[in-house]
Structure 1
Amino acid sequence: MPWSLLKPFDELDLATREALIFGAEKGRRGLGRIYVVPAGPNGNEVTNNIFTITVNGIGREGIVPENTFADTSVLVSGLSEGHNLTSRYMITTTQKNACSDLFRGVSAAASQVAAIIGLALQAYPSLTLRDIQHLIVQSSEYDELDEKHAFICNGAGRYYHRYFGFGLLNATKLVTLAKKQTKTLKLLSVKLENSTEKISDDGLVFQCEFCQGCDDASTQPCLTKIEHVAVSFEFETQTKELRMYLTSPSGTESVLMKDTKDLKSKTIGQIVSVNFWDEMALGLWTFRLYSIPSLKDEDNVTTNVTSVTLTLYGTSATIPSEKQNRCDSSRPFSDDNDISETDDLEEQSDESHLATIIERLKHLAINFVVISGLVCLAKCLARF
């Protein structure tokens, strides 16, 4: 399934949506079909759901390729240019029994990840969709990537990257773990309405909070451990740039949106984040939205948020303590439109990427001078 929607918050048609859900829940005799899709624009419905595995592409040496989507639903990444981190291309078949070395990008990465998942299913055919999702998180690595400094540790000790998800999929590790996989606990979900709502004086900052707790008197299982988190909202805006953040009870911050190209003035949609995988669900969740005015903005650039809801997906894998089960205090509300710590890390990542390119250009220049000198020397020797 190497395709994605093209614009932010694009929706699937009803038939495709129902087919996707049915396949993920009932396919493979109830184990669930595995849909591997490439990363796409903010809020597109192909990647922003719990039924697909979203993949991004990693460039040579482990850098972020140009025109890569930052998608918080990205679970894992594959190689976008070859069979290893130093390859410049890969050979594959094409039409009329021909071979091609032009296949690259996120489509190539998604195909590679899908093939590795196929190996895991061959080793253990009884794996469910959620088994595969958990195994992918456990089998992803980042130590060899040029972007390893930009990975952030979440509250469960899982390292994630805004573009690469939990890293590059290790095929050997995935297949090995697949043989030892135990049954995944039943999936639970809970929908939370915001308990508090705050807006800055200038109207540029919106913040709301959600509390997840367990009722000790209830006989029903309580969701305590996170897999996916979905933020659904409706808003109207005239600004050219919106930034959205979600902070978990553990303090992990997921950058839901920064780029708002092609964003409609009135938006109804959902963004899914996997950045909180395996964290404790209990406690206070905070959603923040920033309307960023540009120098050219003279009219109203505020954002009118009609509704925000939070849906948690996970399991009752842990027993909550009394402290974890409380939401007594709110997070401080700041009406400053400052860049967050996560944004600082991304800017450092961009600077590192630029430094890497400059260093490679230096090496190319040195090699060119050396080769030119050797050619000149060879011509001189030929005269004698």
Structure 2
Amino acid sequence: MRISIGRIGWQLLAVLVSVVLSNEHDSLCDEKKGEICAEPIHTVIRLAKRDDELARRIAEDHDMHVKGEPFLDTHYFLYHSETTRTRRHKRAIVERLDTHPAVEWVEEQRPKRRVKRDYILLDNDSRHANPFRRSVLSRDGTRRSQRQQPQSPREIPSLPFPDPLYKDQWYLHGGAVGGYDMNVRQAWVQGYAGRNVSVSILDDGIQRDHPDLAANYDPLASTDINDHDDDPTPQNNGDNKHGTRCAGEVAAIAGNNQCGVGVAYKAKIGGVRMLDGAVSDSVEAASLSLNQDHIDIYSASWGPEDDGKTFDGPGPLAREAFYRGIKNGRGGKGNIFVWASGNGGSRQDSCSADGYTTSVYTLPWYLEECPSSIATTYSSADFRQPAIVTVDVPGGCTDKHTGTSASAPLAAGIIALALEANPELTWRDMQHLVLRTANWKPLENNPGWSRNGVGRMVSNKFGYGLMDGGALVNMAKTWKTVPEQHICTYEYRLANPNPRPIVGRFQLNFTLDVNGCESGTPVLYLEHVQVHATVRYLKRGDLKLTLFSPSGTRSVLLPPRPQDFNANGFHKWPFLSVQQWGEDPRTFHDWTLLLYGTADPAQPGDPVYSATPATSQGVLSRVQQLTSQVRTFFEGFG
């Protein structure tokens, strides 16, 4: 197994209810089942440098053609011509491409199962009539080559807004249990509304001429990956309203007497049409890498199936897009990727099995439980509860938007408010800010809260609590950029990795000796703890992984998933925990961890840790305490 953490007794507990044997994780469509999606949908080539004419010639020489713009600088979509019909002929063409001297890499791209994270589809989804005539934008509008000019100085809004459904936006004005909301009004009354911030919704497209979005539409944050053009307008077939709804949550115009109000109602909003067709690794990568110097925030409300039995995540091209975004996006400050964590809670699913929400580079938002969640926003579980108000296709409004699909765009809107307050914030600054300002009190009656090693309350379901727009903006205004992130890696391998039958319930306990890489680039203040694990056994759903930090923080990396009967296990799967944020990771003993963090306190006033490791007596005392906790845990487990 591989794990990622630090020093004073990191302990990983593996609990299986049945037998240990083999492993692999789910990714592409299953050819053995004869699924239609098993057929490759296109081919991607990578050249040494961008050369559109060379790519076109290579494609023509192989009876193919290029579609759309290159992505990740030097990657091109290639499609077979109409005359290339047999699978064998297509495979032979790809094999010839692989030997071309100008082609560095080639791969046939197969579709991946991706679902929009609505909680439930409602047949009786009532729409509110639009009182205004629709204004239609030209579909051949030109793209501007530079970011839009800064908007006018902040204006203090007059509350409440006259928009007819604003009164139904309970999550914005004290309508939640206990009279709570996300404290967005405190940011608004200071004049913050997301000006000069660009948000892109990666989904099934957005209706760019919607009367409650048109004035905020951003063509530079928009494209159509499915049809390889610049127009993200969705097909008006009743199914493709998801992206438009998400866009309205972020940036629906305020004060125009239509629908409700977007959280960042002055932000620029764009959309990428990429879910209205087969989705591949390259489709995801092209979407995630769109105009990374212009777009500030990417919001995605989709992912692998939330069926309680799937393990899946981004492929190599999408991972490269994430990495380029955080390293180079926004002029080096890093793009902010907001992801819906999934709606599989009722199926006992866990977002730890979703490689998008377990990425260090994303901010995942709630409903499934996992220790990678930093915070939550309000949403709705099903049609029996008040839902989220937003715009709808074609040109109307809805009060029936639900699930984590609705949660992620609300988070993106609140983050846009903070970026207006401080445009210099980096992607890591934003994670620190969201975590530090999240409010757990509105959710304290929910079970599962615990206090981590630096005194913060944290939950596997809600992260560090409910996002607080006012607190986030206020802290952002005076925030100092965090120190450089260091990565510290440790590895543990079983001496005898051969499968062995184990009958009944059992436990395995591994401890990793970690010094925080203090002799090199030290990690003394934890941010992300990532565990890369390879496990083989008969029923994957019977495995439970629990991580104890040196400070005693307990993170359930993977709970049992009763629906998961997969017999292949998983290979180098990246489990992520943010529940140890701010702790000193240094431990004593052995296995594999990736520690992400800093050598210095992130902000003035943070606790100061000595660079000198703990004494042997202190370590012994801590290990004895952890051993007692582990024993108590398993006694309670039965």
In 1: Cα distance, 2:417 partner to 2:311 partner:
33
The equivalent of 2:487 in structure 1 is 189
> 1:140-159 deviations in whole A, cap 9, x for unaligned?
00112253563211001111
CA RMSD for the aligned pairs? 3.2
> Relative contact order (C-alpha < 8 Å, sep 6+): which is higher?
2
Q: Tell me which residue corresponds to 1:227.
A: 527
1:319 aligns with 2:319: no
Following the alignment from structure 1 to structure 2, what is the Cα–Cα distance between the partners of residues 28 and 309?
Answer: 33
Structure 1 residue identity aligned to 2:564: D
574, 583, 587: which one aligns with 1:270: 574
**Equivalent residues of 2:523, 2:599 under 8 A apart:** yes
Q: How far apart are residue 16 of structure 1 and its match?
A: 1.4
SS in 2 for 1:119: helix
Percent identity over the alignment is 27
- 1:231 shift after superposition: 0.8
Matched residue, 1:296: none
Q: Is the 8 A contact 1:191 1:310 kept in 2?
A: yes
SS for the counterpart of 2:333 is coil
Residues 179 and 282 of structure 1, relative CA distance in 2, 3 Å threshold: same
2:378 is aligned to 79
1:157 to 435, 455, 469: 455
Alignment partner, residue 305 of structure 1: none
Paired letter, 1:309: T
Aligned partner of 1:174 in structure 2 is 472
Give ranges in structure 2 of 5+ residues lacking alignment. Answer: 1-299, 343-350, 601-608
Residue 365 of structure 2: which of 36, 41, 55 is its match? 55
Aligned to 1:177, the other structure's residue is in SS state: helix
CA contact (8 A) 2:339 2:356 kept: yes
Query: In 2, Cα distance between the equivalents of 1:34 and 1:12?
Result: 16
Match of 2:369 in 1: 70
331, 335, 354: which one aligns with 1:33 = 335
- Over residues 107-162 of structure 1, what are the superposed CA-to-partner deviations in whole Å (9 max), with x where a residue is unaligned? 11111011000000011111000000000011100112253563211001111011
Question: Once the 2 structures are TM-superposed, how far is the Cα of residue 238 of structure 1 from its aligned partner?
Answer: 1.6
Superposition map of 1:1-384 within 5 A? 1-6=300-305, 8-40=310-342, 41-56=351-366, 68-81=367-380, 88-145=386-443, 147=445, 150-194=448-492, 204-213=506-515, 218=519, 220-239=520-539, 240-260=541-561, 261-262=563-564, 264-266=566-568, 267-268=570-571, 269-284=573-588, 309-317=592-600, 318-323=609-614, 332=627, 339=634
Inter-partner Cα distance in structure 2 for 1:192 and 1:132: 27
Amino acid at match of 2:598: T
AA matched with 1:141: N
Aligned AA (1:236): R
Structure 2 counterpart of 1:258, one-letter code: P
Return 187-196 or 160-169, whichever deviates more: 187-196
> Whole-Å Cα distance in 1 between the matches of residues 310 and 390 of structure 2?
31
Note the C-alpha offset of 1:340.
7.2
Alpha-carbon separation, structure 1, partners of 2:527 and 2:612? 20
In structure 1, the gaps of 5 or more residues are 57-67, 287-307, 345-384
Per-residue deviation at 1:222?
A: 1.4
Tell me the residue number matched to 1:298: none
Distance 1:129 1:23, change over 3 A: same
**Residue type matched to 2:558 in 1?**
M
1:230 deviates by: 0.6
Secondary structure of the residue aligned to 1:16 is helix
Partner deviation per Cα, 1:160-187 (whole Å, 9 max, x = no partner): 0110000000000000000010110110
- CA 1:158 to 1:19, structure 2 compared with 1: closer, same or farther past 3 Å? same
Q: Which has the higher strand share?
A: 1
Deviation at 1:320, TM superposition (A): 3.0
Deviation sequence 1:278-310 (CA, Å, 0-9, x none): 111111478xxxxxxxxxxxxxxxxxxxxx621
What amino acid is aligned across from residue 557 of structure 2 in structure 1?
L
Cα deviation 1:65-111 (Å, max 9, x = unaligned): xxx311211111000039xxxx8133210111111111021111111
Distance 1:214 1:115, change over 3 A: closer
Aligned partners of 1:154 and 1:196: how far apart in 2?
A: 29
Query: Hey, what does 1:381 align to over in structure 2?
Result: none
CA contact (8 A) 1:246 1:285 kept: no
Amino acid at match of 2:335: R
What SS does the corresponding residue of 1:118 show, helix, strand or coil?
helix
> Who is 1:361 aligned against?
none
Secondary structure at 1:35 match in 2? strand
Instruction: Pick which of 313-322 and 13-22 moved more.
Output: 313-322
Q: Structure 1: how far apart are the matches of 2:513 and 2:529? A: 14
- Over 3 Å counting, the alpha-carbon distance change for 1:324 and 1:105 in structure 2 is farther
Equivalent residue letter for 2:363? I
Partner amino acid, structure 2, of 1:223: V
Aligned-residue offset at 1:215: 7.0
2:544 maps to a residue whose letter is R
Q: How many residues align?
A: 305
Kept in 2, the 8 Å contact 1:238–1:265? The answer is yes
Distance 2:310 2:592 in 1: 19
Q: Matched residues in 1 for 2:502 and 2:472: separation?
A: 51
Taking the aligned partners of 1:72 and 1:140, their CA distance within structure 2 comes to: 15
Tell me, in whole angstroms, the C-alpha distance in 2 between the residues paired with 1:120 and 1:73. Answer: 22
* Distance change (3 Å), C-alpha of 1:176 and 1:191: same
Q: What TM-score, normalized to structure 2?
A: 0.44
Per-residue displacement from partner, 1:42-76 (whole Å, max 9, x unpaired)? 332111111000111xxxxxxxxxxx311211111
Between the aligned partners of 2:587 and 2:501, the Cα distance in structure 1 is 24
Cα shift at 1:275: 0.8
Q: Quick check: 2:544–2:559 contact (8 Å CA) kept in 1? A: yes
Counterpart-to-counterpart distance in 1, 2:426 and 2:615: 30
| Other-structure match for 1:355 | none
Q: Which amino acid aligns with 1:123?
A: A
So what's the TM-score if we normalise by structure 1?
A: 0.71
SS in 2 for 1:75: coil
